[in-house]
Amino acid sequence: MEPILKMVSISKYFGTFAANEDVNLEVQKGEIHSLLGENGAGKSTLMNVLYGLYKPEKGEIFFEGKKLNLNSSKDAIDVGIGMIHQHFMLVPVHTVLENVIMGMGKEKGFIIDEAKLEKEILDIANRYGMKISLHSKVSELSVGEQQRVEIVKALYRGAKLLIMDEPTAVLTPQETEELFTTLRKMSDGGMSIILITHKLNEVMAVCDKVTVLRDGRVTGRIDIKDTNELELTKAMIGRELSPACKDNTCCKGDMVLELKDVSYEEDKGAKLLSNINLNLCAGEILGIAGVDGNGQKELAEVIAGLVHATSGNVFLGNEEITHKSISEIINMGVGYIPEDRHKRGLVLDFSVSENLILKDYCKQPFRKKVFFDFNVINNHAEKMIEKYSIKTQSKNDEARKLSGGNQQKVVVAREVDKLPKLLIAVQPTRGVDIGAIEFIHKQILKAKEQGTAVLLISTELSEINSLSDRIAVIYKGSIIGEIDQSEFEESTIGLMMAGIPKEKAMQSL
Ligand code: ADP
Ligand code: MG
């Protein structure tokens, strides 16, 4: 059968850097096709080419047998290609209906048959099992609902091929399941879907075919029924993984961190954390699960001293640190892997060796009286680069020259190597490749084994599950419940992430 989409020999350069090199992609009608690859593999670039946002340096695109000449996303939409970006593009103050019809000219006409319009849109939503309420404001919707509006909007514009860029990154497991049900219905109805992801289980669960990208090139084109996660991993990273393996015996030591009724309000008065109670012992990993944006960042910052609790108390060991400064808290033995490594974790203009001592440069042994001891600093850097397999041409290279995964390794190396009493790790592997993820996980487990208490804040449930001894779920700034690792059920946690208390979440399964 002639494929609905054929991308032939696409090359796209940024300067001299090849984000896509000779990429071929074929998608059949009614197929769910995964575009799989690590961060930076070139997936979004390729799809932006298909959606008319980038002009490739080389290559041709055929859609329904016809050669395309795309100059804008409007050209792509006109032929029936829809794209749902990682960040939604809805107007929050408008209603769902307004957002769906926006820009189509229909809202401007003199006579709008609103009832007919609504029926058309609801028919589309119902056909694929999507619940939407047309008169709600987009700002009132959950992320999952907003995504449905984006899908309906693309379908209403006549999409025959729908591109979804990492759609599950912002969803709870249940919302992901619902999305997959919708995608299956769409493919049964003859729609073609390109699903961008780096999650292998999703590829296996919902896709028919997969094209794997690595460093801008295709490294695999495989039928899902003939493959497995191992083969896909190899295509993705060029080798096999030996995943971090947790020793399930948690030998807990003394209490290291305790939060008592901690609340935090912004200046404007919005309550971002309310009445949080948590405790964490030496040698234990407490995972904080939750959908992004439910207070995770604030929780980490309140403990690290970047902001101060509005009420309640934070204790490190026996000492209260509620109102201490970040430098005092660091000096008491707290390591911090922040969510945004560019803003808080690294100074990108500084060298790798400077970044490796960022917080200790004033201290022995790096300082001799008023001078830095460059011998010690350089030796330290060389040792750390070797020990933590940081890929850099030189210890004197600026941090910005490193890949994302290696930048994160610099932060992890610096924070873990000093064997802190408490390690706060926020999204420690976000945006890094699976090779680096494996490595970072091992470092976190090693720290735990050596007695560090680890607070692991992550939106990746697989990460929480594979590392934590206990899991607390955060929802709208509150801890909605806590479960032991032995009780881990993705569906229970998923419901809790949507705000359903533990007992109810467990019953409803
Ligand atoms: P993916 O979506 O697979 O994570 P991208 O397609 O976003 O990867 O990026 C591929 C590579 O191209 C990355 O190394 C990225 O830094 C680079 N890149 C992407 N967009 C641009 C741009 N506008 N300018 C320069 N480099 C870019
Ligand atoms: Mg991308």
Closest ligand 1 atom to residue 41 Cα is: 3
Q: d(Cα 31, Cα 504) in Å, to the nearest integer?
A: 38
Is any atom of ligand 1 closer than 6 Å to the C-beta of 44? yes
Is any atom of ligand 1 closer than 6 Å to the C-beta of 405? no
- DSSP state string for 125-168: HHHTT----TTSBGGGS-HHHHHHHHHHHHHHTT-SEEEEESGG
Is any atom of ligand 1 closer than 6 Å to the C-beta of 43? yes
| pLDDT of 322 | 96
Who surrounds ion ligand 2 at CB < 5 A? 44
Q: Could you tell me the CA-to-CA distances from 313 to 201, 274, 320 in Å, in that order?
A: 41, 12, 7
The CATH number of 5-237 is 3.40.50.300
The CA 88 to ligand 2 mean position distance, Å, reads 14
Is any atom of ligand 1 closer than 6 Å to the C-beta of 395? no
Peptide bond just before 365 cis, omega within 30 deg: yes
Residue appearing with tokens 């514009």: 157
| pLDDT of 246 | 61
The CA 146 to ligand 1 mean position distance, Å, reads 26
- Interhelix angle for 114-127 vs 143-156, to 10°? 110
Q: d(Cα 96, Cα 287) in Å, to the nearest integer?
A: 36
Q: Closest by alpha carbon to 285, among 315, 259, 253, 319? A: 253
Q: Tell me which H or E stretch contains 317.
A: none
Residue-wise pLDDT tens for the chain (509 aa)? Answer: 899 999 999 999 999 899 999 999 999 999 999 999 987 889 999 999 999 999 999 999 999 999 999 999 999 999 999 999 877 889 988 999 999 988 776 555 556 678 888 999 999 999 999 999 999 999 888 888 999 999 999 999 999 999 999 898 778 888 899 999 999 999 999 999 999 988 888 999 999 999 999 999 999 999 999 998 888 888 888 776 666 666 555 557 899 999 999 999 987 778 899 999 999 999 999 999 998 889 999 999 999 999 999 999 999 999 999 999 998 999 999 999 988 777 778 888 899 999 998 877 666 667 666 667 778 888 899 999 998 888 888 899 999 888 888 898 999 999 999 899 999 999 998 877 778 888 899 999 999 999 999 999 999 888 999 999 999 999 999 999 999 988 888 889 988 998 999 988 888 76
Q: d(Cα 210, Cα 187) in Å, to the nearest integer?
A: 15
Which of the ligands is closest to the CA of residue 13? 1
The CA 366 to ligand 2 mean position distance, Å, reads 40
| pLDDT of 428 | 93
The CATH number of 255-349+399-507 is 3.40.50.300
Is any atom of ligand 1 closer than 6 Å to the C-beta of 37? yes
Is any atom of ligand 1 closer than 6 Å to the C-beta of 144? no
**Is residue 168 a contact partner of residue 202, using CB atoms and an 8 Å limit?**
yes
Closest ligand 1 atom to residue 38 Cα is: 3
Is any atom of ligand 1 closer than 6 Å to the C-beta of 39? yes
Q: Closest by alpha carbon to 421, among 363, 336, 335, 359? A: 335
Which of the ligands is closest to the CA of residue 400? 1
Q: Whose CA is nearest to atom 27 of ligand 1?
A: 14
Closest ligand 1 atom to residue 216 Cα is: 10
- Which residues are CB-neighbours of 369 under 8 A, at least 6 positions away? none
Domain ranges in the chain?
5-237, 255-349+399-507
**Is residue 422 a contact partner of residue 257, using CB atoms and an 8 Å limit?**
yes
Q: Which residues of 419-438 are buried (b: 16+ CB within 10 A; e: fewer)?
A: ebbbbbbbbbbbebbbbbbe
Say what the pTM is: 0.73
Domains 5-237 and 255-349+399-507 fall in the same CATH topology: yes
Q: Which amino acid is at 384?
A: M
The CA 96 to ligand 2 mean position distance, Å, reads 26
Closest ligand 1 atom to residue 20 Cα is: 10
Is any atom of ligand 1 closer than 6 Å to the C-beta of 491? no
Is any atom of ligand 1 closer than 6 Å to the C-beta of 14? yes
Residue appearing with tokens 């494929």: 3
Counts of helices then strands in the chain (DSSP H, E): 17, 22
**How many other β-carbons are positioned within 10 Å of the β-carbon of residue 176?**
21
The CA 77 to ligand 1 mean position distance, Å, reads 23
Is any atom of ligand 1 closer than 6 Å to the C-beta of 73? no
For the beta sheet containing 334-337, the strands, ordered from the edge strand earlier in sequence to the opposite edge, are 334-337, 422-426, 453-457, 285-289, 470-475, 478-484
Q: What are phi and psi of 295, to 5 degrees?
A: 110, 5
The CA 404 to ligand 2 mean position distance, Å, reads 13
Which of the ligands is closest to the CA of residue 48? 1
Token pair belonging to 211: 């094209």
Q: Closest by alpha carbon to 27, among 10, 53, 8, 49? A: 8
